[in-house]
Amino acid sequence: MALLGTMIKTLLAALCALAVLASPTGAATFSMKRGLNLDQWVTWPTEDKWGGRQAILPYPEWRKFLKEDDLKALKDAGFDFLRMPIDPAPFLSDQTTALRDDLYASVLDSARMINRAGLKVVVDLHLIPAGGNRKVGMSEVMRDPAIFDAYTVLVRKMATTLAKEDPDQVALELMNEPIVDCGENGTSLWPERQKRLFATARASATRLTLVLTGGCYSNAASLAKVDPKAIADDNIIWAFHSYDPFLLTHQGATWAGDFIQYVTGLPYPLTAVPKAQLDMTLDTIRDRIRAEAPWARQSGLLAYLDEQMATMDSPEKLLGVMDQPFTTVDAWAKANDVKPQDITLGEFGMIRQEYGNGFVMPAAYRAAYVRDMIARAEAHGFSWSVWSYGGAFGIVDAFDGEKAEPDVMDVIRQLPR
């Protein structure tokens, strides 16, 4: 009888666990409102040296630069959560096998450090392109089934690592900006891949809120293609990103395609300067394209500049461009009964300076853009997290130990509490 009782208890426990996995919880456990993306520095040595403890730990790399007082200052400024990008590459490298447990432990310690500062944390698995000092990046994970399998194992282990944390304080984002389903050929690979990642994470972390997204860089239109009912779980936050209009937010970014690197000096909004001044800036951009772009690409780049400008050459058009992602997500949410508080604008922002480029975006333009995007997100009831603490888009730090202008942070501090 004792043995039978034990078997019954075991069976009931298993059924309860299955019920947790199969039944919606009603709403996401993790709640957030105003956040900031921490940096994802990648200044490590080449991958063949990643096995050295001092080269790769503590992890993520911002731990070498930021202290708890820095995090507490973000809480005081008005943020309630941080999105913490984690580069998966070291977890997928055969060079770090001996340090793998230490890497997971360091991520856990970093999340707890953020919590101790009074901030919630979204642990964001944030793939970036391979090359330079890494063999595996987004393309390899998406293209090679064996590497995607390894990534799935990483998701499971990360979920297991975080599973016992307070679900009110910690959430897990399974993949940042998946680069898949972007073409016009009708591919729809991401929904099934995300379902697989979700099932893997949920089996290991039954209580954590999981952050899911659409394909193709997590844009709003891709989120609108996702059927949230295909994943029978309500303990989910749905993310989308928007840097619209890209022509203004990524000026001078050499890594963002073969066009935007020639574009600098445009104001936000375009009406912030007299039309004659704006026309002179556009002429300067055209001259730069003619002088620096490959000859065969010049006519196309010039036409693209005119095409993009035509989409926002009046206040009404610019308003429409910036509103469209929010309108798209709002319509999707209402059609699928997704609550606004379970939607987050996971990334937005305006470049400050491309590393090595002398042009610095005037702080007043950056502050105005961030203020306008926050207003849109909050009007829809969405949480948000601006990109990012430092680097090219930095709102706290700039480069080489310098501080960013305070204008954007002042916008955050002035928000009603």
Read off the pLDDT band of 358 (50, 70, 90).
confident
Count CB-CB contacts under 10 A for residue 355: 13
- Mean pLDDT check: name the lowest of 36-50, 219-233, 294-308, 364-378: 36-50
Both tokens of 212, joined, read: 């899911």
What mean pLDDT is reported for the chain? 92
Q: CA torsion sign, 333 to 338 to 341 to 345? A: negative
> Do residues 40 and 248 touch, judged by C-beta distance below 8 A?
no
Whether residue 156 is predicted with pLDDT greater than 50 in this model: the reply is yes
Distance in angstroms (rounded) separating the CA atoms of residues 86 and 82: 12
Whether residue 417 is predicted with pLDDT greater than 90 in this model: the reply is no
Distance in angstroms (rounded) separating the CA atoms of residues 33 and 158: 24
Whether residue 406 is predicted with pLDDT greater than 90 in this model: the reply is yes
Alpha-carbon distance values, 157 to 10, 204, 207 (Å): 25, 8, 15
Whether residue 159 is predicted with pLDDT greater than 60 in this model: the reply is yes
Distance in angstroms (rounded) separating the CA atoms of residues 388 and 390: 6
Global pTM value: 0.92
- Mean pLDDT check: name the lowest of 129-143, 179-193, 294-308: 179-193
**Across 167-192, average pLDDT:** 90
- pLDDT for position 15: 33
**Across 123-147, average pLDDT:** 92
> Do residues 393 and 350 touch, judged by C-beta distance below 8 A?
yes
Read off the pLDDT band of 26 (50, 70, 90).
low
Burial class (CB in 10 A: 0-12, 13-18, 19+), 342: buried
Distance in angstroms (rounded) separating the CA atoms of residues 10 and 5: 9
Whether residue 388 is predicted with pLDDT greater than 70 in this model: the reply is yes
Give the HSE-up count for residue 118: Cα atoms under 13 Å, Cβ half-sphere. Answer: 12
- pLDDT for position 344: 98
What tens digit of pLDDT does each residue of 248-262 get?
999 999 988 889 999
Whether residue 5 is predicted with pLDDT greater than 70 in this model: the reply is no
Distance in angstroms (rounded) separating the CA atoms of residues 75 and 79: 5
- pLDDT for position 45: 87
Backbone angles phi, psi at 30, to 5 degrees: -80, 130
